[in-house]
Structure 1
């Protein structure tokens, strides 16, 4: 009995073309999944590195004898370094192969994380956070550029959904485990664990990632001219506006959810992890589904459905009265899911809106815009929110209304964003077999 996995024997010189094409397709799909797993692992480490600093605040303030303002500098130094580095990288990143650039940036990120772990003083920790942010801020854009190069349009939404589920895994596993290490073994240990996790991923990525250098055949301009070109293309500006609106709308609310739940809704601090675990689990299961639906029914269609829903949930969360904990967890979890869903659809649209030879620089610039916009959103919300003598937060509902309005404005940018032609937007991800 013949083996169904072997090509049937044909006369010498003849080729079973359907079987050969099936083999190439199978190898391509396998390569795509390996690349996606590597990218998701890198996303996980970078997300946990950024997020875990915030709940470590009390320990850092005790260890370095600093106040809230100094701790705020530890957090914001990462964000602003990420934004500036993204702008610089956007002008030169397309001069290198995707693999070389990605591996170099990830190695720099791990070095910065290691320096965070061993920083003996406050200012050295701030410097280490600046270095980590400079590299970590570019990783997200590079990952999306690689997704855009490797995955064709009909599978890009699902790939984006899988990659963005790294946020959910970070919420469910990474941050709670990091807090456990920090609480029991000191604030250094979460950073040590991230380096220990990242080094094997770096080694695997060295062998797993394809060169992805087809864009190098294109003529590149001077870095400053490249930066000007990136920000002078009207379609790019629409994409940046879409990203900025989503990040401002989200980060005007997200950083203040925890204190609002404790001060106004009546939750205990010990119950807060349930909010993030529940939201992360919901996102973990829903994000891939949203990605597939975006491939089936269209990215813009899914965005036009999910973005208004997230706008309504922003209002719901910021006006949430004292309610049972389970209800509060459900509402905030739904907001997390809707925020992730709108970003999946939006990022898939944005990735397909730029020519392949410009994608690396563009996505770096877009990541930079996202970091800056998130900082703007959090800062503006801080100017609006006040704290009453009894500790409750006031005017959070006003922030929710503003965030809702900005989110709805993103619909205009999404509708106006155009997609690059099919022949321009997909690069060959594997060597041709001939």
Structure 2
């Protein structure tokens, strides 16, 4: 019971981190008016946040590598709670940006260690389900956290949801410090890959960057696609995104039940599934029903991929799993940034419909990388054998 309560707290921590990262998007006008700045400048609060995570994840994880997980999570959540409260109290754009950078620095390390930390609480045969539960928090954030935070900010002022997230972070911190075992680094079998293989790991990093890039080439501009290509009214976008969010939550849950037994095949399925969904969206996006189904299917596959990725890192990490997770987390965030940039270029050039096509083609490249993974591992084993 202690392990499951701790896991619930860790899942809630993923929820608050994802929510606080994207919450300014829903509160752009309120924050801009309050601080006397432009909405585009407030939008940069999200872009800068993501950039800090990309740049800082690997070096900060190396610096904190020898800390115990309980101590490190306590420090990170403490930074989160304080910096989020400072965000709520900020009286200038500069102070808000500085607070956001502090949160992003804590998140950079958080995503590197949270999966190994959750896995270390359980025996190997239930870790797939545990990781699935962990990632329900991050999947629920865009479905529940951001809409709820936006509504609360519209009703009570933009500062209130940030204060609420700070309070939740403090509760999570207390639970983790009180209940998580304080194991020294390297003492848990989850601290090392169960089947370490550098070839498989680096293939996983490349496939992650490509798949996430493909996903966000399309998803970043799904709103203009649904209105401009599928012909939906603006009022229908919210319900459609809700359907996609629910599909993503289902994807995480399903992945948790299959990844423990079928790790690499699970990754093949979610990658191929996303490619198919995006190409269907391109080919049949003018049909409203097909667009909704394809968008929901893509959400299912991407969210499932996140859970599969966490489990795969625990298998193939060539060294410490936290450093391996730092690499895949960086790849994930690079994919988000690259996808948004490519989609923006397509939007002003080939048009919004092309975002689904290019997203599908980039995902096909990710599928090629995933399919090559066993061959690369076999070649490596043969090379090692011939040398010895």
Same fold per superposition (TM over 0.5)? yes
1:415 is matched with: 374
1:150 aligns to what SS in structure 2?
coil
CA distance in 2, matches of 1:195, 1:42: 11
Of 324, 331, 334, 1:369 maps to: 331
Q: Describe the shift of the 1:180–1:366 C-alpha distance in structure 2 as closer, same or farther (beyond 3 A).
A: same
CA distance in 1, matches of 2:33, 2:229: 27
1:91 aligns to what SS in structure 2?
helix
Q: Quick check: which one's helix share is greater?
A: 2
1:265 aligns to what SS in structure 2?
coil
1:246 correspondence with 2:211: yes
User: What are the residue-to-residue correspondences of 1:111-122 with 2, within 5 Å?
Assistant: 111-122=82-93
Q: CA deviation at 1:79?
A: 0.5
- Asked if the contact 1:303–1:345 (Cα under 8 Å) also holds between the matched residues in 2, the reply is yes
Q: Describe the shift of the 1:186–1:343 C-alpha distance in structure 2 as closer, same or farther (beyond 3 A).
A: same
Q: Describe the shift of the 1:285–1:243 C-alpha distance in structure 2 as closer, same or farther (beyond 3 A).
A: closer
2:343 is matched with: 381
Q: How many residues align?
A: 371
Q: Describe the shift of the 1:207–1:44 C-alpha distance in structure 2 as closer, same or farther (beyond 3 A).
A: same
1:332 correspondence with 2:332: no
CA distance in 2, matches of 1:387, 1:60: 32
Q: Describe the shift of the 1:57–1:327 C-alpha distance in structure 2 as closer, same or farther (beyond 3 A).
A: farther
1:269 correspondence with 2:240: no
Of 394, 404, 424, 2:363 maps to: 404
Of 341, 349, 354, 2:304 maps to: 341
Q: CA deviation at 1:146?
A: 0.8
Q: CA deviation at 1:98?
A: 0.8
CA distance in 1, matches of 2:122, 2:330: 23
Q: Describe the shift of the 1:299–1:394 C-alpha distance in structure 2 as closer, same or farther (beyond 3 A).
A: closer
- Asked if the contact 1:300–1:349 (Cα under 8 Å) also holds between the matched residues in 2, the reply is yes
What TM-score do you get using the length of structure 1 for normalisation? 0.77
CA distance in 1, matches of 2:231, 2:97: 34
CA distance in 2, matches of 1:197, 1:85: 25
Unpaired segments of 5 or more residues in structure 2? Answer: 189-196, 379-388
Unpaired segments of 5 or more residues in structure 1? Answer: 1-29, 218-231, 420-434
- Asked if the contact 1:81–1:131 (Cα under 8 Å) also holds between the matched residues in 2, the reply is no
2:122 is matched with: 151
Q: CA deviation at 1:47?
A: 1.1
Of 99, 107, 114, 1:128 maps to: 99
Q: CA deviation at 1:65?
A: 5.1
Of 350, 353, 367, 2:316 maps to: 353
CA distance in 2, matches of 1:129, 1:413: 39
**RMSD (Å) for aligned C-alpha atoms:** 2.8
Q: CA deviation at 1:165?
A: 1.4
What TM-score do you get using the length of structure 2 for normalisation? 0.85
